[in-house]
Structure 1
Amino acid sequence: MRVAVLIPCHNEATTIGKVVRDFRAALPQADIWVFDNASTDDTTAIALREGAQVRPVAAKGKGNVVRAMFRDVDADVYVMVDGDDTYPAQAVAPLLADVIAGRADMVVGTRLDSHEAASFRRFHGVGNQLVRRCVAMLFGSPVRDVLSGYRVFSRRFVKSMPVLSKGFEIETEMTVFALGNGFVLAEHPIAYGVRPEGSESKLSTYRDGVRVLKTVLFLFKDMRPLLFFGGIAAVLALAGLAFGSIVIAEFSRTGLVTHPSTAVLAVALTLVGMVSLATGLILDTVNRRANEIQRLITDQLLGQRGPAGTAR
């Protein structure tokens, strides 16, 4: 089994050296990759000095970095961890075990069960809970920590996922992609630490929070089009029936329709609801065929690789 440790970084000179050393000690046979996202400090120099392989990524945003990591690194199992020294390297073994044994395609190190008071900035814990509840409601699968940056992936997951996000919403996209495409997701609690002095979070509480919620909504539309557009159709149909019942009740009493605008609104709402339902049915069929083609292509590509990720 070839294991690759992938560390996305932007200006993490304060912590990257320790992160590389810790994962080198925990996984001595693993390849350690640092993907430097346009850092202006000594992140690259320190990572090279500690023996990591470094790749620069010019396009800013964590999603862009993950796209490069998944595209450029070849391994059997992938460990992704932030370079801010808040995730413990010694906790990687149980996360790896589920993927290596084939029990999961993605294992998430959940932070909410064990963390220090200063681990989360103001509103971050609340935001995480909000996103978690949205994902559980829309996809029917409870996930304890949607936004964790400590994850282990199978090769099949990495080479199947088309990374669309550009920023910190990438963790949400990974979780939703796994839930929506039949990948097995597991979670293990970890002890989440605090950034050391001199290290600053790049996450914007409000801007990135809105992006995460938008990502959940858009991915739900893309992956569950029938449920998404069917829900809209149901709301419109009920509204059309409500307005239509007013017109029908009036006509049954008086034999007249004195509110033609209400009748037109009822018909319009019903028609738009039917169009929405038809849109959902069509997109659901297209989505199913696209998923089948994607899985066939992925299986063929992975089938051409040996157990160590080298061509047969």
Structure 2
Amino acid sequence: MGEWSDVCVLIPTYNEAAAIGQVLDGFEAQGFEHVLVMDGGSDDGTQEIARDHGADVREQTGSGKGQAIREAVQLIDQPYVLMLDGDATYRPDEAPAMLEPLLDGEAEHVIGNRFADMESGAMSRLNRVGNRLINRAFRVVHGRDFVDILSGYRAFTIESARRFALTADGFGIETEMAVECVKHNVTTEVVPITYECRPEEAETNLSPFRDGAVILMTLYRMAKTNNPLFYFGSVGIVSTLVGIMLGGYVAVEWFTRGISHEVIAIVSALGIIFGVQLLIFGVLSDMIVTLHREQLHYIERLSAENQPNDAGRPGDSGRREPSSEGDERS
């Protein structure tokens, strides 16, 4: 049993033939025994190259990165997962730093911060601005600062991942995972990493505008169950303000020109009533969500107290016990 026998390296791929061999060689050099490549039906030889480099290759049943991760989580037997893209933008030699918070029992989920050390040209200016905007929106909507929620370099316990309700198919999956960490109070740490330029032969599967819009919609959609006050309140405020502005216009027209706008007045009243109702509904929903979280945390605490403290089990809060002298981390 090697040093990383409790870790499965998960690599979702789609047409990564130009880089996947380099990535797999890097993890082999680091001593990782379990590497799972979940492929989305590549037609450029990605699967054959991955098998030639010793990876366990599975073809997912659906399409998209999110589907690959959902299927992989059900297949993995190891208690710890190190996940990254197969485009050679993440460094295998930084895997120990990513896994350290998990193995020390300090976190259940680790996010690699690409902005800590990003090579020139690794990310376009448009993508950089989009990432900053999305991270800022995440802080506002969900109340946590994970610095780089779109990072594809992550480490997590398989037990925590199986608690997540993941539905996104594409690049919105990282956003969903970040929101689920907040929703389920999963202890999360951010680790600085290096983000490198992809090989010239490797083409990106990311569409900045399309995928950016999907990610922002995922952020907003998931606020419905994680931050309902923002979800319903934002629409309620807009509706109320529109109603007030229309009402102001009707009042000005009536007092200055003697013109009545009955239809606009009715629309104004309906907008104000609808907006106030949404605000009230948001407050009530937020109270229900808060109560639900408190009850869930109480149940989880009772369950943890009644579980035997067996070292090395998934979800165990203590430090992993090495299976031999060679299993000690340097």
TM above 0.5: yes
Question: 257-266 or 110-119, which moves further after superposition?
Answer: 257-266
Match status 1:269 vs 2:271: yes
What is the deviation of 1:241? 5.3
C-alpha separation in 2, matches of 1:205 and 1:300: 43
C-alpha separation in 2, matches of 1:274 and 1:289: 23
- 2:45 maps to what in 1? 42
Alignment of 1:95-114 (within 5 A): 95-114=98-117
Whether the aligned pair in 2 keeps the contact of 1:76 and 1:307 (CA below 8 Å) is no
What is the deviation of 1:248? 8.4
Alignment of 1:1-312 (within 5 A): 2-28=6-32, 30-240=33-243, 260-261=262-263, 263-281=265-283, 283-284=285-286, 287=289, 308=312
Deviation by residue 1:260-292 (Cα, 9 ceiling, x = unmatched): 445534431232123313443564466567767
Structure 2, unaligned stretches of length 5 or more?
A: 315-330
Whether the aligned pair in 1 keeps the contact of 2:141 and 2:227 (CA below 8 Å) is no
C-alpha separation in 1, matches of 2:103 and 2:214: 33
User: Structure 1: which amino acid aligns with 2:28?
Assistant: R
Question: 87-96 or 43-52, which moves further after superposition?
Answer: 43-52
Distance 1:271 1:46, change over 3 A: same
What is the deviation of 1:102? 2.2
C-alpha separation in 2, matches of 1:225 and 1:127: 24
Look up the SS of the partner of 1:124 in the other structure. Answer: helix
C-alpha separation in 2, matches of 1:40 and 1:249: 66
Distance 1:250 1:196, change over 3 A: closer
What is the deviation of 1:137? 1.9
Whether the aligned pair in 1 keeps the contact of 2:220 and 2:231 (CA below 8 Å) is no
What is the deviation of 1:48? 1.7
Structure 1, unaligned stretches of length 5 or more?
A: none
User: Structure 2: which amino acid aligns with 1:18?
Assistant: Q
What is the deviation of 1:201? 1.0
Distance 1:171 1:50, change over 3 A: same
Whether the aligned pair in 2 keeps the contact of 1:81 and 1:87 (CA below 8 Å) is yes
Distance 1:298 1:206, change over 3 A: farther
Distance 1:260 1:61, change over 3 A: same
Deviation by residue 1:70-103 (Cα, 9 ceiling, x = unmatched): 2221221110011111111111112111122222
Whether the aligned pair in 1 keeps the contact of 2:110 and 2:154 (CA below 8 Å) is yes
Look up the SS of the partner of 2:175 in the other structure. Answer: helix
How many residues in Structure 1 have an aligned counterpart in Structure 2? Answer: 307
C-alpha separation in 2, matches of 1:72 and 1:157: 15
Deviation by residue 1:190-216 (Cα, 9 ceiling, x = unmatched): 111111232111111221111111111
Question: 84-93 or 172-181, which moves further after superposition?
Answer: 172-181
C-alpha separation in 2, matches of 1:113 and 1:130: 17
Distance 1:87 1:247, change over 3 A: closer
- 2:328 maps to what in 1? none
Look up the SS of the partner of 2:116 in the other structure. Answer: coil
Whether the aligned pair in 1 keeps the contact of 2:85 and 2:153 (CA below 8 Å) is yes
User: Structure 2: which amino acid aligns with 1:196?
Assistant: P
RMSD (Å), alpha carbons: 3.3
C-alpha separation in 2, matches of 1:51 and 1:294: 42
Distance 1:307 1:217, change over 3 A: same
User: Structure 2: which amino acid aligns with 1:82?
Assistant: D
